Structure 1
């Protein structure tokens, strides 16, 4: 999906994927980096469904229903 210009303008830009990964690991929520088609730099997204977690992040296991 292509990032809208208004969304790109609001998001923080990271010059490299390594910088974006470092910022994602430090965040309080699960984030993933992606290269923006608009600006060519990296942004972070919270849309992680079906994606592997980044190294160094802890993902909580879903609660079991008894």
Structure 2
């Protein structure tokens, strides 16, 4: 199986999950992050259909 990075080249990449979460916090739309199986970094998506959205942590 050949994994191409051409798809990833068009997307913003975040080296760490923390970096991706910071970008989500600054966004004006609902986003979620995911680890990419091609490049090993994190990307963001606005697609949430069928995906469980984590609830904010409250103390």
Regarding TM over 0.5, the answer is yes
Paired residue for 2:14?
14
Corresponding residue pairs, total: 54
Paired residue for 1:64?
none
Alpha-carbon RMSD: 2.1
Q: Which sections of structure 2, spanning at least 5 residues, go unmatched?
A: none
Larger Rg: 1
Q: Which sections of structure 1, spanning at least 5 residues, go unmatched?
A: 57-66
- Any residues of structure 2 matched to 1:17-56 within 5 Å, and which? 17-54=17-54
Q: State the TM-score, normalized to the length of structure 2.
A: 0.71
CA–CA distance in structure 2, aligned partners of residues 23 and 9 of structure 1: 18
Q: Which runs of 4+ in 1 moved over 4 A?
A: none
Q: State the TM-score, normalized to the length of structure 1.
A: 0.65
